[in-house]
Amino acid sequence: MISFLRVFAYICIWTTPFQVAFILWGIGIVAVTDYSIFSLSHIEFIRNYLDFLFPIIEWLYTWFWNALLDWVFSLPMILHGTFKAIVSTWLGFWILKNINRWQ
């Protein structure tokens, strides 16, 4: 269990640069297009800039609760990505800090 938590913590920390890259990409899109920070949702970003992921999104709608997916994909990408990056990085460091106490 401890090794799983350690791997999970490292994944939380290592994915932070990718999350920051997507946040910066979203800020760049907002800067040069008519989108605002609140109007650039996840689904708009995927539909316009990561079109190859759209079949996966359609597949998700066959397996998961549609209302939940509608809500998640309608969140503003920049704000949600920033919150997610902060929380996952903090969670990774918190797990690594407390892992010795749990042994």
Instruction: Delimit the domains of the chain by residue range.
Output: 1-40+77-103, 41-75
Whole-prediction pTM value?
Answer: 0.84
Task: Kindly report, residue by residue over 55-68, the tens digit of the pLDDT.
Answer: 999 999 999 889 99
Could you write out the DSSP letters of every residue in 36-86?
A: -TTT-BHHHHHHHH-GGGHHHHHHHHHHS-HHHHHHHHHSBHHHHHHHHHH
Predicted pLDDT of residue 1: 83
